[in-house]
A and B are shown apart, each in its own frame.
Chain A
Amino acid sequence: MGRIVLENVTKSFGSTEVIPPLNLTIEDGEFAVFVGPSGCGKSTLLRVIAGLEDATSGKVLIDDEDVTEISPSKRGLAMVFQTYALYPHMSVRKNIAFPMRMAGMSEEEQEKRITAAANSLNLTDYLDRKPGQLSGGQRQRVAIGRAIVRDPSAFLFDEPLSNLDAALRVGMRLEITEMHERMKTTMIYVTHDQVEAMTMANKIVVLQAGVIEQVGSPLELYHRPRNKFVAGFIGSPKMNLIEGALAEEHAAHTIGIRPEHLSVSDKEGLWQGTVGVAEHLGSDTFIHIHGIEGCDPMTMRAAGDVSFKHGDRVYLTPDATQIHKFDAQGLRIE
């Protein structure tokens, strides 16, 4: 079990309030991702849940039990850190055994769990090495192994992939998602990378300056962002946000259109502009178009390779059903 509830949790460092009163429920078995720009309080929130930081006020409940005053180790949570935080002078085996050793578990049980964890994480050949002799990905797996053997009610991940290179990151992303599918344990994952959030989560929590901007499934956030911030943050490349005359045509302060919902033509269309940089990815081409009032440059995504050159005059047409409208406060208008 691992149902985590935050009730009016706040956190201040001195007189600076980093998290204003915040309420959030993470259901048992959910993969929740906290996402937001750096400094938005997502890591602090995770540390409050873990107990590494005390909440200034409010309550943290795990399975309906108030754990706000309970020590971190008694909360039954396991955490994986960005820097792996392995114990450098201990072998992989001892690293993984450490939480069980601290809990005074029997040697046989320890050995059983280590073997199981090492098998599922492909670490069997490395058990007697020191962390310093492992690659970044292997180290991260050891850190995950150390979390698994505790059989926690929830896993907490604090930007676990940001120290890995891009290729490895994609691989580990899949492994962690698969691990969740297999174990069905609650996981809370902190990242600043919206791609990780979109690909891994059941539930995304978008945070800005300690405030929850929106909570929802990845596709909910993609299709119905509650405000301008979420609209701009979720999706890659970013949504084009257009202000001024073009927005007023739709009776909104700002309208948003995703790059993939624009079509381009060299003959006719709604909005006229000139091609700036075109980024060719093979499968897609991202074209940056200048000269459209209220949004400069506007990004559009064309499937396949498109042969527009720098300086070409083009016409863009948005998919009318995919236009997002926002009022002056940045909130969504239905």
Chain B
Amino acid sequence: MSNRKLPRMLQSPAVILLLIWMLVPLSMTLYFSFIRYVLNNLRRPEWTTPSISNWRGLGNYEFVLKSKDFLFAIQNSLLIVCSILFLTVVLGVLIAVLINKSFPGQGIVRVLLISPFFVMPAVNAVLWINMILDPVLGLQGIAVAGINETVAGLRNTPLIGGFFSLWPEFNPISFRATQTSAYAVIMMVTWQWTPFAVLIFMTSLQSEDQQQKEAAILDGASAWSQFRFLTLPHLGRPIAIVVMIQAIFHLSLYAEIEIVSRGNGNKNLPYLIGEFANNNIGAASATGIFAVILANIVAIFLLRMVGKTLME
């Protein structure tokens, strides 16, 4: 047994560091979630320092559960994460399969495809909401105005004018409005993270066995069947990886939500935590614990689903 001692001792700094790294923040969050702890309260100044004497039990959790935004934030978190995952995986697979064939300019196309991933999230959000999605000055506003003008012009032409006069006038969508700001976030994050999926799927596609494909061709498999029965199962594991990594990242989206609508009509759990943390650290910590639980449920659920459907 003594010969095990040395390796254990040599491992211990890394293990201890990792434990501290994980356990300290988690236990502090747990601790704060059970006490009254606010940053500023003139009437009860003792609540402004964390202390076990301010014990509140499950009070913070009750407060969070009863707050009007909590359920909405969970729904919205799931909506945003699931939509982004679905879109990035579908687009990622399609684009990766498309550019896996060799064609002139392949190198440049690949670099261009990867580039959105290098844009900072805040910059990404500012660019999208102001330059693309803005209903007046953005690409969207210009495009909608252009279509409306063209349609208006065509109404007076003979023959086809009657058809175009049936068309309504299009209204640009305001993505800062409450209902639609989540879609804006989904769009911009999908744009940014699709390259990540493409990159992972592309490397995986390059390791696909060509003889298997040839065997399938001889077996009479159409291009679609080859994709469905060979390529897609081959991509099962990378898809699971993309889903897992992205689920972790997108459950904590913050910058995009802040920039698009400052949380108006579009909150997720991290944003709710941020709002609570303006003053009520106890409630923010309780929300944080809910977020941890949600993240775990989502991760397990998604991994199971992806694993089952693709690995048969």
Could you tell me the distance in whole angstroms from the C-beta of A71 to the nearest C-beta in chain B? 8
Write the B195-218 contact mask toward A (1 if CB under 8 angstroms, else 0): 000000000000001011011111
Tell me which residues across on chain B come within 8 A of A73, comparing CB atoms. 217-221
23 A-B pairs with CB atoms under 8 Å apart are A52-B217, A52-B218, A73-B217, A73-B218, A73-B220, A74-B220, A78-B218, A79-B215, A81-B214, A83-B209, A83-B211, A85-B212, A85-B214, A85-B215, A87-B229, A87-B233, A89-B236, A90-B312, A98-B221, A99-B220, A102-B219, A103-B220, A146-B215
Tell me which residues across on chain A come within 8 A of B220, comparing CB atoms. 73-74, 99, 102-103
Tell me which residues across on chain B come within 8 A of A83, comparing CB atoms. 209, 211
How far is B288's CA from A16's CA once the two chains are assembled, in angstroms? 66
B311 contacts A by Cβ under 8 Å: yes
Whether B312 pairs with A79 at a CB distance below 8 angstroms is: no
Could you tell me the distance in whole angstroms from the C-beta of B307 to the nearest C-beta in chain A? 11
Write the B21-52 contact mask toward A (1 if CB under 8 angstroms, else 0): 00000000000000000000000000000000
8 A Cβ contacts from A78-103 to B:
78-79, 81-83, 85-90, 98-99, 102-103
Whether A99 pairs with B214 at a CB distance below 8 angstroms is: no
Tell me which residues across on chain B come within 8 A of A52, comparing CB atoms. 214, 217-218
> Interface residue count for A (Cβ, 8 Å)?
25
How far is B215's CA from A87's CA once the two chains are assembled, in angstroms? 9
Whether B219 pairs with A99 at a CB distance below 8 angstroms is: yes
CB within 8 A of B221: which of A88, A102, A146?
A: A102
Whether A98 pairs with B218 at a CB distance below 8 angstroms is: no
Tell me which residues across on chain B come within 8 A of A146, comparing CB atoms. 215, 219
Given A72-B218, A73-B217, A98-B229, 4 further pairs, Cβ under 8 A: A87-B216, A89-B311, A99-B219, A103-B220
Name B residues whose Cβ lies closer than 8 Å to a Cβ of A.
209, 211-212, 214-222, 225, 229-230, 233-234, 236, 311-312
Tell me which residues across on chain B come within 8 A of A72, comparing CB atoms. 217-218
Could you tell me the distance in whole angstroms from the C-beta of B115 to the nearest C-beta in chain A? 33
How far is B221's CA from A328's CA once the two chains are assembled, in angstroms? 52
Number of residue pairs spanning A and B whose beta carbons lie under 8 angstroms apart: 62
Tell me which residues across on chain B come within 8 A of A45, comparing CB atoms. none
Name A residues whose Cβ lies closer than 8 Å to a Cβ of B.
50-52, 71-74, 77-79, 81-83, 85-90, 98-99, 102-103, 146, 150
Whether A77 pairs with B218 at a CB distance below 8 angstroms is: yes
Whether A150 pairs with B311 at a CB distance below 8 angstroms is: no
Whether A98 pairs with B217 at a CB distance below 8 angstroms is: no
Tell me which residues across on chain A come within 8 A of B222, comparing CB atoms. 102
Q: Given A81-B211, A102-B225, decide whether A87 and B230 contact each other with a Cβ distance below 8 A.
A: yes
How far is B86's CA from A36's CA once the two chains are assembled, in angstroms? 52
How far is B33's CA from A253's CA once the two chains are assembled, in angstroms? 98
Whether B221 pairs with A89 at a CB distance below 8 angstroms is: no
Could you tell me the distance in whole angstroms from the C-beta of B269 to the nearest C-beta in chain A? 36
How far is B312's CA from A74's CA once the two chains are assembled, in angstroms? 29
Closest to A156 in B: B218
